[in-house]
Structure 1
Amino acid sequence: MLLEWDFWVFVAALSVAAFTPGPGLAAIVATTLATGARKTLWFCAGVIVGDLVWLLLSISGLAVIAQKIPLIFQCIKWAGVAYLIYLAWKIWSSPVAMGTGAAMTREKSNLARVLAGFSVTMGNPKAMLFYLALLPNLISPEHMSGPLILSLCLAVVCVLGGVFAFYMLAAQQARNKMKNSKTVRRFSRLTATALGGAAIWIAGK
């Protein structure tokens, strides 16, 4: 019963954290406006994978090592910052074309979108601290089991997936009203600004 209660406390805390505006949500909204919800799903997948990595690192205790050896986290952080800045520059400088019934920016690989989302999460110290500070206070390591770890991973996927879907649908409604290349250019640069802003925010932490 105690573990069940602790699990739902974790889900509630994760839900609040997921709905709180931050660089990840800003990038998701901006990317949806520029490329559409379908392509943004790959970015969201990268964000969720990053959260799962921090969750598993926290469970295994490796996150504590990363915290005690700052160089490890700094390498991850600055690699993510560099990649986000590179993507922001690519999107900002890319030409814009109009597609049938909707605006389209120059094609970017799905892998690049996944890596962008992954970089946002892995470079965000708040993501690490959330799992590092919350899990040990809710569930002690000796109580961890395979089914419980699986339940925690599923909770992360479901909660983040639901929150991201909410924001993407809202942004998609706005995108459907985009009619000309000038508007597309504006939202493409909004995406670049959001990714660049996420990089700056992460670098400053």
Structure 2
Amino acid sequence: MTVAAFFAYAIALGIAAAIPGPGVAALVGRALGTGFARSVPMLLGLAVGDVIYLTLAIAGLAFIATAFSAAFFVVKLAGAAYLLWLAWRFWNEGIAVRKVEKSAGRRDGIASFLAGLAVTLGNPKTIVFYMAILPAVMDLSAVTLAGYGVLVILTFLVLFVVMTPYMALASRARLFFTDPRALRRLNRSAAAAMAGTAGWIVAKG
């Protein structure tokens, strides 16, 4: 594979990721509710979901996707359930500003990761990118093992570069809200974003 092919992939993925969709909505909602650090596992889950589709596209998407469709469906439902739980928590309880910087527990991090993974696996924009756009950008049959490794690294780098500003801005916006009523509205906005994304995942399941 050539440097031009890697560059074309990075540019195409960056443009696709920058377009607001379920992934951005879920990540912003999570960042509004819990802050920057506790949103990182969700961003990691979003990126791993992209790597899964990248792998399927290179290895033969149709056959492998069919074989693992049941497993993907279970992960999607688990992620949607977690997003709904977060939505309920933010709507009814909220999280005070002083708690934003507290570290997440291990279970919370895993659940957030799975939610991000579920959002990507159920996102038709991601599916269309790897099924239709990616083959037009590069020759998938020419991807070597080393080339695949580079593509995986590029996927993580591009998604983190593109999505981190969304997460950072949402987290910073939260810190400006010190009035209890304003903070409650913010928590409920995060809840609405989470619930909407969860409903979208289930509806597309």
Check whether TM > 0.5.
Answer: yes
* 2:201 aligned residue: 202
On the 8 A contact 1:98/1:180 being kept in 2, the answer is: no
- State how 1:83-102 maps to structure 2 within 5 Å: 83-94=82-93, 96-97=95-96, 99=98
**TM-score, length of structure 1 as denominator length:** 0.81
CA–CA separation in structure 1 for the residues paired with 2:47 and 2:72? 21
What amino acid is aligned across from residue 154 of structure 2 in structure 1?
A
TM-score (norm 2): 0.81
The Cα shift of 1:146 comes to: 1.4
- Equivalence for 2:22: 23
- Alignment root-mean-square deviation, CA: 3.0
Q: Which residue of 2 aligns with 1:55?
A: 54
Residues 76 and 118 in structure 2, CA contact (< 8 A), matched pair in contact too: no
1:68 to partner: Cα distance = 6.3
Matched with 2:111 is: 112
Match of 1:123 in 2: 122
Q: Percent identity?
A: 33
* Paired position in structure 2 for 1:10: 9
- Alpha-carbon separation, structure 2, partners of 1:98 and 1:175: 8
The gaps in structure 1 that reach 5 residues or longer are none
Q: Answer whether contact 1:67 1:73 (CA < 8 A) is retained.
A: no
For the 8 Å contact 1:87–1:195, the answer to whether it is kept is yes
Q: Which amino acid in the other structure matches residue 32 of structure 2?
A: L
Unpaired runs of 5+ residues, structure 2, are none
The structure-2 alpha-carbon separation of the partners of 1:86 and 1:117, relative to structure 1 and needing over 3 Å to count, comes to: same
Tell me, yes or no, if the aligned pair for 1:47 and 1:121 is still in contact at 8 Å.
Answer: yes
Q: Which is worse superposed, 5-14 or 138-147?
A: 138-147
Q: What amino acid does structure 1 have at the position aligned with 2:149?
A: L
Q: 2:42 and 2:63 mapped to 1: Cα distance?
A: 28
Deviation string 1:46-99 (CA, Å, 9 cap, x unpaired) is 1111111111111111x2136668965983585244443344334433454452
CA contact under 8 A between 2:33 and 2:90: conserved in structure 1?
A: no
Q: Is the 8 A contact 2:27 2:43 kept in 1?
A: yes
Task: Tell me, in whole angstroms, the C-alpha distance in 1 between the residues paired with 2:67 and 2:200.
Answer: 22
For the Cα contact (< 8 Å) 1:11–1:155, is it kept in 2? yes
Q: Is the 8 A contact 1:23 1:198 kept in 2?
A: yes
State the SS of the aligned residue for 1:179: coil
**1:65 alignment partner in structure 2:** 63
The equivalent of 1:172 in structure 2 is 171
CA distance in 2 between counterparts of 1:46 and 1:17 reads 17
Alpha-carbon distance in structure 2 between the residues aligned to 1:158 and 1:167? 15
SS in 1 for 2:2: helix
Q: Would the alpha carbon gap of residues 5 and 117 (structure 1) be closer, same or farther in structure 2, given more than 3 Å must change?
A: same
SS at match of 1:159: helix
Question: Within 5 Å, which residues of 2 pair with 1:31-50?
Answer: 31-50=30-49
Query: Structure 2 CA distance, aligned partners of 1:71 and 1:163?
Result: 28
How far apart in 2 are the matches of 1:177 and 1:88? 21
Indicate if the aligned counterparts of 2:50 and 2:126 stay in contact, CA closer than 8 A.
yes
Once the two structures are overlaid, the 10-residue window that deviates more, 2-11 or 19-28, is 2-11
| Structure 2 CA distance for aligned equivalents of residues 76 and 131 of structure 1 | 21
